[in-house]
């Protein structure tokens, strides 16, 4: 049995939303009277309401986290993923003792160091060296410890030349480098990291990821990592926890957790494709649905750059069409309505005769070399030619796919966002 | 029934804890942080100023001159025979230490919401560091007082002499610090919810000075029949003792100093309880 290092039991956290201010004395007194004197339940905490931003709640208390239970083993690198407002940051805040839970408890073995932000407490007037000491002390290091590691920290940060200059003269990149360098040299058993990798240039990001994987894999320490960067979660973590509306909806291997998240998040609630009337063609065949599938044939709404993507068109057969002459076109448009790429079945010499038996057409893209962004799909089914008089079914914006930054080149570096395609290739000199 | 396994956890994070829950072990572990905060306060105070640490002197000197002129010369309030400048300087120095501790501590949560919201360390470190860094300042100003005393020893303008009560000096400083700290802790805890108190503190402390024997001796208040009110103020006993120790004037009784000590301990205790209760969740309301 592996060694548990964190155990979270029935953890909940309630927040008061809306105005806090006028009238709080009277409410506080009421609360005090009811809970402490009468010994009843807090009237301002209504039980059972979940945290869903889009639905208006009844009370002005929301449960940012509700009855969370999980355990983390020593040496695990755990990715915590979820939509904005799912409770990730609240969980980290509770774990790092910035705020305390409303109910439930967290049991921990060893020291926790949390990096909810890099450079907490940096004072602009102090020099880099002085700030290393200050920041290190804030993060719980002893002075001796910092002195012992000072050279290593300065070396890792790469700002050696400016170490005796006040940090207010630093560029933001240097600032972050120095700050992360301090944090990376903490000697705690558990390290909590929140999205800090969003800053700094690619080289430094890689260095940070490398350091973090070194901490978890090399030194056997436990890392909790919150990020929207699915590629980073996949490469860094061995397990994952998916939060949704303040609840743990999935816990398991990090790859599975990422897939679960991608397939369950941001379900579109628009009019279904089947009922749309803004389409052209004789509708002998009708595209009634579009599904995006990943390499495990799971339905997804998001895909990581460079990974496999299948587009499955569900077809309703309404009258006879000569399938040997069927033309299918799928085009991807960015949010500026620019066509980014298209697939034409006639060029690809595709064969759709199988549609006789099945009721879907599938486009398989083994490596989806597209940069991160949102794309709309336009779908065209035609009879023989692409002329308007042979249209069977043409739907603009039939579906939407979100592409997340990935590691197309397999270099450990996350690709830049930007809605355009990437071709395989390499530089040489 | 589930069998409970004997597991050992180093830390249990939960919602409710006992009232007086100060983690002295934690505080001790973070003592280097306290030192760093003090250094930060001191260095950042005079960075990019021309006069630098001299500013520590300028403030009390000018206040003393103005007070001597307004209250000594214009209003003609007696100083119990002590040299005017020394009389006011002793009052100002000790009052300044108390009020600095109080006002700076009273905004601890608001000023540091950013740090407190991102990382955990025993929150009490912050107010303690304020008390210590003001102590540095107080020490510097004490040097000024000693210089002035040497000057007036050679060029007498009134009578003064150091009394054995000077041995109580550390106790007096501790009382000033802890009283300021205790009051500040109560106020900062309450301001996380009720901002109104912030405004009260800024002018309240100024007004409170007039209810303390900073600009007049206790004997003068007694002449006018207000001595009972003035003596209710726990700082009165401390400042009177301070003045008695350095100048030999003023009324120094064990009773009034004892009263100050008891009030200080009660306020400090209360302050720590309220502060502890607030620190757990203040991030959510600030």
pLDDT tens, residue by residue, A81-98: 887 778 888 898 888 888
With a CB cutoff of 8 Å and minimum separation 6, the contacts of A201 are A173
Tell me the per-residue pLDDT of A306-336, one tens digit each, with 9 for 90 and over.
Answer: 889 999 999 988 888 888 889 999 999 887 6
Enumerate domains of chain A plus CATH numbers. 4-10+68-263 (3.40.50.300), 273-404 (2.70.50.60)
Q: What average pLDDT does the segment B79-108 reach? A: 89
Are B13 and A142 in contact (CB < 8 Å)? no
A201 pLDDT tier (thresholds 50, 70, 90):
low
Please check the confidence at residue A49 and state whether its pLDDT lies above 50: no
Report the residue of chain B nearest A133, measured CA to CA: B36
- With residue A3 as reference, give the H or E element that holds it: none
Which residue among B15, B29, B48 places its CB closest to the CB of A102?
A: B15
User: Is B9 part of any domain?
Assistant: no
User: Which residues does B contribute to its contact with A (CB < 8 Å)?
Assistant: 7-15, 29-30, 32-33, 35-37, 39-40, 43-44, 47-48, 114-121, 193-194, 280-281, 283-285
| Per-residue pLDDT at A35 exceeds 70 | no
**Mean pLDDT for the stretch of residues A388-410:** 86
Which residues in A lie closer than 8 A to residue B32 (C-beta atoms)? Answer: 137, 141-143
Mutate to test the interface with B, among A138, A182, A191, A194 (most CBs of B within 10 A): A138
Residue A337 predicted with pLDDT over 90: no
A240: region left, alpha or beta (phi > 0 left; psi from -120 to 50 alpha)? beta
Query: Measured between CB atoms, which of B12, B36, B193 is closest to A107?
Result: B12
In a domain, B145, yes or no: yes
> Residue A142 is nearest to which of B32, B121, B194, comparing CB atoms?
B32
Tokens 């800090």, located at residue: A196
What is the per-residue pLDDT for A241?
Answer: 92
pLDDT of residue A268: 41
Chain mean pLDDT for chain B? 86
Please indicate whether residue A172 or residue A11 has the higher confidence score (pLDDT).
A11
For residue A294, what are the CA distances in angstroms to A132, A258, A259, A314?
A: 45, 11, 8, 16
For B193, the closest of A24, A108, A125 (CB atoms) is: A24
For residue B90, tell me if it sits in a domain. Answer: yes
Q: Which of A31, A60, A98 to mutate to test the interface with B (most CBs of B within 10 A)?
A: A98
Asked if B15 lies within 8 A of A100 by C-beta distance, the reply is yes
pLDDT (0 to 100) of residue A400:
85
Of A215-224, A342-351, B147-156, B211-220, the range with the lowest mean pLDDT is: A215-224
Best of B8, B26, B27, B33 to substitute, by most chain A Cβ atoms within 10 angstroms, is: B33
User: What pLDDT, on the 0 to 100 scale, is given for residue B184?
Assistant: 93
How many whole angstroms separate alpha carbon B34 and alpha carbon A78? 33
- Contacts for B190 with CB less than 8 Å, ≥ 6 apart: B197, B274
Q: If you average pLDDT over residues B8-31, what whole number do you get?
A: 77
Handedness of CA A397, A400, A403, A409 (dihedral sign): negative
pLDDT tens-digit readout, A101-149: 888 889 988 888 887 777 778 888 889 999 999 999 988 888 999 999 9
d(C-alpha A382, C-alpha A353), whole Å: 14
Q: Do B13 and A25 touch (CB under 8 A)?
A: no
Q: Which residues of chain B are within 8 Å of residue A117 when distances are taken between CB atoms?
A: 118-119
CB atoms A108 and B283 under 8 Å: no
The answer to whether residue B122 scores a pLDDT higher than 80 is yes
CA distance B189 to chain A (A): 14
Shortest alpha-carbon distance between residue A1 and chain B (Å): 14
CB–CB contact B118 A134 (8 Å): no
CA distance from start to end of chain A:
52
Prediction ipTM score: 0.82
The residue of A1, A100, A129, A168 whose CB has the most chain B CBs within 10 angstroms, and thus the best one to mutate to test that interface, is A100
Residue B116 located in a structural domain: yes
Any domain includes B11? no
Q: How many domains does chain B have?
A: 1
Nearest-CA distance from A253 to chain B in Å? 26
Q: Are the Cβ atoms of A101 and B14 closer than 8 angstroms?
A: yes
- Residue B7: predicted pLDDT: 67
Whether residue B142 is contained in a domain is answered as: yes
Confidence at residue B241, expressed as pLDDT on a 0 to 100 scale: 92
Q: Which of B7, B116, B280 minimises the CB distance to A100?
A: B280
Q: Give Cα separations from A147 to A150, A152, A185, B125 (angstroms).
A: 5, 10, 12, 21
Q: How confident is the model at residue B248 (pLDDT cuts 50, 70, 90)?
A: confident
Among partner residues A16, A108, A140, which is closest to B13 by beta-carbon distance?
Answer: A108
Which DSSP letter does residue B166 get? Answer: G
Cβ-based contacts of A137 with chain B (< 8 Å): 30, 32-33, 36
Q: Which tokens hold the place of A368?
A: 């989806």
A102: distance to nearest CA of chain B, Å?
5
Whether residue A108 and residue B12 make contact (CB cut-off 8 A), yes or no, is: yes
Query: Does some domain include residue B144?
Result: yes
Instruction: Provide the whole-model pTM.
Output: 0.72
> How many CB atoms neighbour CB A263 within 10 A?
17
Q: At what angle do helices B55-67 and B125-154 cross, to 10 degrees?
A: 60
Looking at residue A34, what DSSP letter applies? Answer: I
Among A99, A103, A110, select the one facing B283 at the smallest CB separation: A99
Interchain pair A108, B8: CB under 8 A: no
Q: What is the pLDDT of residues A242-301, one digit of tens each?
A: 988 888 988 988 888 888 887 765 444 445 777 777 788 888 899 988 989 998 888 888
* CA separation for the pair B232, B236 (Å, rounded): 8
pLDDT at B126: 93
What length does chain B have?
A: 286
Which of A101, A97, A100, A128 is CA-nearest to residue A113?
A97
Interface with chain A: mutation pick from B8, B38, B40, B281, highest number of A CBs within 10 Å? B40
As a whole-number percent, the residues of chain A with pLDDT over 90 amount to 15
3-class SS at A333?
A: strand
Q: Judge: A99–B35 Cβ closer than 8 Å, yes or no.
A: no
Q: CA of A3: which chain B residue's CA is closest?
A: B7
Task: Test A101 with B15 for CB contact under 8 angstroms.
Answer: yes
In a domain, B4, yes or no: no
Q: Which domain holds residue B268?
A: 24-38+52-285
Query: Is the CB of B285 less than 8 angstroms away from the CB of A20?
Result: yes
- In Å, how far is B72's CA from the nearest CA of chain A? 41
Residue B161 has pLDDT above 80, yes or no: yes
B40 to A104: CB separation less than 8 angstroms, yes or no: no
Q: Are B99 and B268 in contact (CB under 8 A)?
A: no
């Amino acid at each position: 049995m592996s060694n548990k290092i964190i155990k979270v039991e029935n953890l909940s956290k309630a927040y008061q939303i809306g105005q806090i201010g006028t009238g709080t004395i009277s409410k506080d007194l009421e609360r005090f009277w009811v809970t402490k004197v009468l010994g009843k339940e807090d009237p301002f905490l209504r039980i059972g309401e979940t945290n869903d931003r889009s639905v208006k709640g009844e009370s002005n208390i929301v449960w940012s986290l509700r009855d969370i239970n999980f355990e983390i083993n020593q040496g695990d690198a755990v990715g915590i993923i979820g939509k904005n407002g799912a409770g990730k940051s609240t969980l980290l805040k509770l774990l790092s003792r910035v705020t305390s839970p409303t109910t439930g408890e967290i049991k921990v073995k060893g020291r926790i160091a949390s990096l909810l932000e890099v450079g907490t407490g940096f004072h602009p007037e102090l020099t880099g060296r002085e700030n290393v000491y200050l920041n290190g002390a804030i993060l719980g290091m002893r002075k001796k410890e910092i002195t012992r590691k000072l050279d290593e920290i300065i070396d890792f940060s790469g700002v050696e030349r400016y170490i005796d200059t006040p940090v207010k003269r630093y560029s933001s990149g240097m600032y972050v480098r120095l700050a992360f360098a301090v944090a990376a040299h903490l000697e705690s058993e558990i390290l909590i990291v929140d999205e800090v990798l969003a800053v700094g240039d690619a080289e430094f990001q890689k260095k940070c990821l490398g350091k973090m994987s070194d901490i978890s894999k090399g030194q056997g320490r436990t890392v909790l990592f919150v990020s929207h960067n699915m590629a980073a979660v996949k490469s860094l973590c061995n397990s994952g926890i998916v939060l949704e509306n303040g609840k743990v909806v999935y816990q398991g291997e990090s790859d599975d957790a990422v897939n679960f998240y991608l397939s369950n998040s941001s379900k579109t609630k628009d009019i279904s494709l089947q009922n749309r009337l803004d389409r052209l063609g004789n509708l002998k065949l009708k595209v009634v649905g579009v599904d995006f599938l990943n390499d495990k044939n799971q339905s997804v709404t998001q895909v990581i750059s460079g990974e496999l993507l299948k587009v499955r068109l569900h077809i309703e057969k309404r009258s006879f069409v000569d399938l040997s002459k069927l033309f299918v076109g799928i085009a991807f448009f960015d949010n500026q309505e620019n066509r980014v790429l298209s697939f034409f079945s006639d060029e690809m010499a595709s064969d759709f005769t199988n549609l006789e038996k099945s009721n879907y057409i599938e486009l398989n893209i083994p490596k989806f070399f597209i940069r991160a962004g949102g794309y709309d799909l336009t779908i065209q089914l035609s009879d023989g030619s692409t002329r308007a008089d042979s249209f069977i079914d043409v739907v603009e914006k039939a579906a939407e796919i979100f592409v997340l930054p990935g590691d197309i080149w397999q270099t450990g570096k996350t690709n830049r966002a930007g809605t355009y395609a990437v071709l395989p290739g390499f530089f040489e000199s | 029934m589930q069998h409970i396994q004997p597991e050992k956890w180093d830390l249990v994070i939960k919602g409710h804890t006992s009232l007086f829950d100060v983690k002295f072990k934690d505080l001790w572990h973070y003592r280097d942080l306290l030192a760093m905060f003090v250094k930060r306060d001191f260095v950042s105070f005079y960075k990019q100023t021309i006069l630098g640490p001299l500013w520590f002197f300028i403030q009390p000197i000018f206040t003393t001159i103005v007070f001597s002129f307004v209250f000594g010369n214009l209003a003609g309030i007696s100083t119990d025979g002590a040299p005017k400048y020394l009389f006011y300087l002793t009052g100002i120095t000790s009052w300044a230490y108390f009020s600095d501790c109080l006002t700076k501590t009273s905004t601890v949560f608001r000023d540091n919401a950013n740090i407190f919201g991102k990382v955990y360390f025993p929150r009490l470190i912050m107010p303690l560091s304020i008390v210590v860094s003001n102590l540095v300042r107080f020490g510097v100003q004490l040097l000024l007082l000693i210089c002035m005393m040497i000057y007036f020893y050679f060029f007498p303008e009134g009578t003064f002499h150091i009394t054995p009560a000077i041995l109580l000096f550390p106790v007096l400083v501790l009382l000033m610090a802890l009283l300021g700290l205790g009051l500040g802790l109560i106020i900062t805890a309450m301001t996380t919810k009720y901002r109104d108190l912030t405004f009260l503190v800024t002018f309240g402390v100024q007004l409170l000075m007039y209810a303390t024997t900073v600009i007049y001796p206790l004997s003068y208040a007694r002449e006018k029949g207000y001595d009972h009110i003035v003596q209710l103020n726990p700082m009165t006993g401390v400042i009177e003792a301070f003045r008695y120790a350095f100048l030999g004037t003023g009324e120094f009784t064990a009773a009034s100093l004892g009263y100050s000590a008891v009030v200080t301990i009660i306020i400090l205790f209360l302050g720590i309880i309220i502060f502890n209760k607030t620190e757990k969740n203040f991030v959510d309301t600030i």
